[in-house]
A and B are shown apart, each in its own frame.
Chain A
Amino acid sequence: MIDATRRTLLKGSLGAGAIGVAVGAGLLTPGAVLAAWPEAAFKAEDQAAALNELLGADATETSDAVKIKAPDIAENGAVVPVTVESDVEGVKSISIIAAGNQTPLIASFDLGENALPFVSTRIKMAKTADVVAVVQTADGLLSAAKPVKVTIGGCGG
C-alpha cells in the first residue's frame, strides 16, 4: 500500500517534468517565460501584419527620436549589428524588423520599469533592405528606417 502511494508520488513528480523542476529551481518564472511566444507575428510575411499581431496596431509615425545604428554595408548578412535608441519618455517596447526578410519581424524587446530605451543585437538580413525600428509608447508607435546594403545574404537559402 505504501509502495503504491510512493509510486504514485514519484510518478507525479517525474510527470511534472523539466518545467516543474526548473520552476522549483527558480530558473523559470511561469509568468514571464511560459507566456505565449507570438508565433503569428514572427511568421507574418509583411511588416504591417507582424506589427498588428505583435502590438495590435500597425500605424507608425516616422520620428527622429528613434535612432538606428547599423552599418551602411553589411559584409555578412548573417551578422548585422543593429542598435536602437530613443530619447522619448515612456517607451514600452522596441521591435526590430528586417524589411527584406521573408518574415520581417526579427525581435521585440519589452522594457521593464527601469530599463532605458536602448537595445543592441545582431540580426540576419536576407538581402539589401531597410532595417526598421518600431518604438512603442503610450501614445502610439514611432519608427525609423535605415537602409543596409547586404553583400552576402544571411538567412541561409
Chain B
Amino acid sequence: MASNIKIRAKASNGVTTVKSLMSHEMETGLRKDKKTGEPIPAHFIQEVTAKWNDQTVMTALWSGGVSKNPYLSFKFNGGEPGDTIEISWVDNMGQSESGTAEIK
C-alpha cells in the first residue's frame, strides 16, 4: 500500500463514504521560481480511478486547478466492512501511484 495515498472508507446504512488524501505538488505551470524567474513546469495529477473490489466506482479528470495534496471524497451504494477500496492516479508526467484500504 502506497503511503502517499491515505484512504478512509466507512460503510453505513448501505452507503460507503470514502475520503482520501494524496500527496502531490499539483503544480499548475503558472508559478515562477523566485530565484531564477523560470516557470516551474506543470506537474499535476490528471486522472484518478477509484475502485471497490475491482469495480470502478469513479474516475476523476483533474487539472492543475485542484489544490496541492489533493483531498477527494465520494460515496457509493454498497460496500461491506472488509471490502477493498483502491485509489490510483496518473499525472501529466506519466508517474502513477496506487493505494488500497479496507472498508470499515
Q: Which residues of A are at the interface with B, using a C-beta cutoff of 8 A?
A: 18-19, 22, 27-29, 32-33, 35, 37-38, 42, 78-81, 83, 98, 101-103, 105-116, 118-124, 154-157
Contacts and interface: CB of A to CB of B under 8 A. Distances in A.
Interface of A is mostly: mixed
B28 interface: yes
A114 B57 contact: yes
B97 to A, nearest CB: 9
A111 B58 CA distance: 5
Most buried by B among A19, A80, A98, A120: A120
A112 B75 CA distance: 11
The list of the 6 closest CB pairs from A to B, nearest first, reads A156-B31, A106-B65, A120-B73, A122-B67, A116-B75, A42-B63
Interface string B30-57: 1100000000000000110100100111
A32 B72 CA distance: 18
Given A27-B88, A120-B73, A121-B73, A115 B58 contact: yes
A47 to B, nearest CB: 13
Interface of B: 15, 28, 30-31, 46-47, 49, 52, 55-68, 70-78, 88, 90, 92, 94, 96, 98
B74 A115 contact: yes
B66 A106 contact: yes
A20 to B, nearest CB: 13
Nearest to B79: A114
11 contacts: A27-B98, A107-B61, A110-B59, A112-B59, A114-B77, A119-B74, A121-B71, A121-B72, A123-B66, A123-B67, A154-B67
A122 B22 CA distance: 12
A120 B49 contact: no
A66 B31 CA distance: 33
A112 B96 CA distance: 21
A156 B43 CA distance: 14
B66 A112 contact: no
Contact of B63 (A22, A33, A105, A110): A105
B56 A112 contact: yes
Nearest to B94: A18
Contact of B30 (A105, A114, A156): A156
Nearest to A38: B61
A112 B18 CA distance: 14
A109 B65 contact: no
B55 A110 contact: no
